[in-house]
Amino acid sequence: MSIVRPDPYDGVLDISKIEAGKLKLETVNFDITAVLNQVSSLISEQAKAKDLVIKVEHAGVPAWLRGDPTRIRQALLNFAGNAAKFTQKGSITLRVLMQEERSNGILLRFEVQDTGMGIEPEHIKRLFNDFEQADTSTTRKYGGTGLGLAITRRLVNLMEGEVGVDSTPGAGSTFWFTALLQRGQDSTPLVETKPIQDAQTQLNQNFKGTQILLVEDNAVNRKIAMQFLSRIGLEVDIAVDGMEAVEKAGNKIYSLILMDMQMPRMDGMKATSAIRLLPGWADMRIPRHSATQSTNILPPAP
C-alpha cells in the first residue's frame, strides 16, 4: 500500500486558487461530531507516540451544520497538526463553541488548545503570514513550509470569520478561528447498523488486496480517503492530478479508480478520456457520484 506523505506544494496550490478566486466553498449538511472525530483520528498516531491525550468538546453546538466540511476540517487539521508536532506532553483539545446567533446564520468558534511550548508575544503577529513560522529554528528541528496557518487564515476569510491565537510561553497555546455557518439537518440515510457492518465485513473478505488508484489533489482528502480504504484492506496507489493518473493507469490495470474532478495540470474528465484510450481500459463503465463530485472508473465486469 502506498504511504501518504505531505506534499509541500499542496499549500501553494491552495493559496493560488484562493488568490485567483477559483476556490469555491461547498454548501452541504454535515455532522460536526464526524468532522471533529476525523481530525482527532488523523493526529492520533502522532499523539499516541507521545502519550498525548486528545479531547473533543462541542457542547451546545447543533449536531448538524450547513457549510463546507472539507475546509472546516482542513483548517482544524492545520491547527491540530501543529499542536501534535509541538506538544511533548499533556493534551490536545479540539473544541467548538457557539459564539453568536445572527440573522444570516450562526457564528461558531473552533479552537485547538495544547499544552505545548507556547509562543513568545513578539512572534505571534507574524504567524499567519505566508511562509512564516514563529521561530526559524523550528523549521530545522520540525520541518514544514509555514504555509498551514496562512492557508487557514485565507480559508476562514472565505467563511466570513477571523483567526487568532492565545499563547503563554511554556504553558501552551489555543489557536482559534470563527466561521459563519447555517443550521443543518440530518442527511444520514435511514439504514440499520448491522447491514453496514456486514457490508464492510463482506468487502474486506471479498476485496482485500484489490489494487485501486486514488486520484485527489487535496492532501487532507487523500488522508481521509486512505483511512477509509485501508479499513477494507485495499491496496491503494496515489495520483495527485490527472496527468499522474494517466501515467499510472498506463503501467497497471486497477480494479477501481477513484477520480477527483477539479485538479491542477489535468482535470478528472480529461484524465478519464485519456485513460479510456489506453490498452485494457476502452470498455470501462463510468458512474458518477454527484455528492462527492467524484467519478468512479471501473473496468468491465468479468
Q: Is the pLDDT of residue 251 over 80?
A: yes
Q: With 90 as the cut, is the pLDDT of residue 260 above it?
A: no
Q: Identify the residue whose cell numbers are 477520480.
A: 259
CB 230 within 8 A of CB 236: yes
What are the backbone angles phi and psi of residue 164, rounded to the nearest 5°? Answer: -170, 180
Report residue 285 CA to chain centroid gap.
28
Is it the case that residue 237 has pLDDT exceeding 80? yes
Query: pLDDT-based confidence at 40, cuts 50/70/90?
Result: very high
Confidence of residue 31 (pLDDT cuts 50, 70, 90): very high
What pLDDT sits at residue 223?
Answer: 82
Residue range 52-63: mean pLDDT, rounded: 95
Which pLDDT belongs to residue 286?
45
Among 70-74, 174-178, 252-256, 296-300, the range scoring the smallest mean pLDDT is: 296-300
> For residue 253, what pLDDT is reported?
84
**pLDDT-based confidence at 150, cuts 50/70/90?**
confident
pTM: 0.60
At residue 200, the pLDDT reads 63
Model confidence band, residue 269 (pLDDT cutoffs 50, 70, 90): confident
Residue 66's φ and ψ, nearest 5 degrees, are -130, 120
- pLDDT of 36 strictly over 70: yes
Q: Please give the average per-residue pLDDT across 114-118, as a whole number.
A: 93
Average pLDDT over residues 234-263: 88
For all residues of the chain together, what is the average pLDDT?
78
Per the CB < 8 A criterion, the answer to whether 158 and 71 are in contact is yes
Q: Which whole number is the average pLDDT over 244-261?
A: 87
| Domain spans, the chain | 10-183, 194-297
**What pLDDT is recorded for position 254?**
86
99-103, 223-227, 279-283: segment of lowest average pLDDT = 279-283
Question: Using 50, 70 and 90 to split pLDDT, how confident is the model at 208?
Answer: confident
Residue 54 above 90 pLDDT? yes
CA distances from 44 to 2, 49, 80, 175, 196 (A): 20, 9, 10, 19, 25
Residue 287 pLDDT > 50, yes or no? no
**How confident is the model over 247-253, as a mean pLDDT?**
89
Looking at domain 10-183, its CATH architecture is: 2-Layer Sandwich (3.30)
Residue 184 has pLDDT above 90, yes or no: yes
Judged by phi (left if over 0) then psi (alpha if -120 to 50, else beta), residue 51 lies in left
Question: Which residues make beta-bridge pairs with 180?
Answer: 107
Q: Are 300 and 283 spatial neighbours (Cβ–Cβ below 8 Å)?
A: yes
pLDDT bucket at 165, cuts 50 / 70 / 90: very high
The topology under which CATH files domain 194-297 is Rossmann fold (3.40.50)
Provide the total of helices (H) and of strands (E) in the chain, helices listed first.
Answer: 10, 12
Single-letter amino acid code for the residue at 180: L
Q: How confident is residue 151, by pLDDT bands cut at 50, 70 and 90? A: confident
Among 121, 124, 117, 219, which residue's Cα sits nearest to residue 172? 117
